[in-house]
Homo-oligomer: A and B are copies of this chain.
Amino acid sequence: MRAGLKRDRVRDFLLDYVADKKPGEAIPSERDLCKELGVSRPTLRAAIDDLVRSGVLVREHGRGTFTGPQRVTQALAATPSGSFYAPPAEGKWLSAILEFGSSPAGPQLTSRLQLAPATPVLRVVRLRVVDDEPMAIERLHLPHELVPGLVPADMETGSFYKVLRERFGVDVRSAVQTIEATVTDETEAELLGVPEHFPALLVERTTRDVNQRIVEFTRSIYRGDRYRVTSELYFDAESG
């Protein structure tokens, strides 16, 4: 109940429901789910809409609603054996922490993180390295109060999201991400070991936890010759 919006609670319920289903399995009909969850159909449909948009569910008119063809977290896999979010389990990833410090949010981050301008924000810049080769530069910003006692070493290896969950009880749930093309500036080129004006992907990501609180805003530069975003799209009958 704490989570606030019914739509979000319904969506989370469906995520849990779908978690141990195989791709293509049917979920209960909308009318049944309404009764079971005690919400109206528009609300239920709004929740399903979210999941359809992100590929978790697939609707088929007249037949039913089914789990999507694959796990969402794998849908945007980057080339080197891992998603944009989860470094590969093989453990070859390392991060060199270039900056680590707290300062007021300032005007930019105020809107990005939806905080008051004076709220302390932890800023971390890290260079992500695989097999001694620099791959990406990540600039993370998170409300400092969320992670009291976090130290740079926590972010050098392993999954940061795991640390968030297990040490700070922050349960990351969703993210909105934009990807655009750019070229490296002088600093970025040097850090990544590529020429200046080299092709690169600029990825901005806003991450939320189960309660829809904004957990982090991250702006990353990925080497254009090492990263590729793959996705699978499904059309409904009317898409042009």
Contacts and interface: CB of A to CB of B under 8 A. Distances in A.
B232 A174 contact: yes
A159 interface: yes
Interface string A93-134: 000000000000000000000000000000000000000000
A237 B174 CA distance: 11
A40 to B, nearest CB: 12
A235 B72 contact: yes
A151 interface: no
A211 to B, nearest CB: 14
A235 B73 contact: yes
Given A80-B240, A161-B235, A182-B224, 6 more contacts: A15-B234, A54-B232, A85-B235, A173-B235, A177-B232, A183-B199
Interface of A: 11, 15-16, 18-19, 42, 50-56, 71-73, 75-80, 83-87, 90, 158-159, 161-162, 171-183, 197, 199-201, 222, 224, 227-240
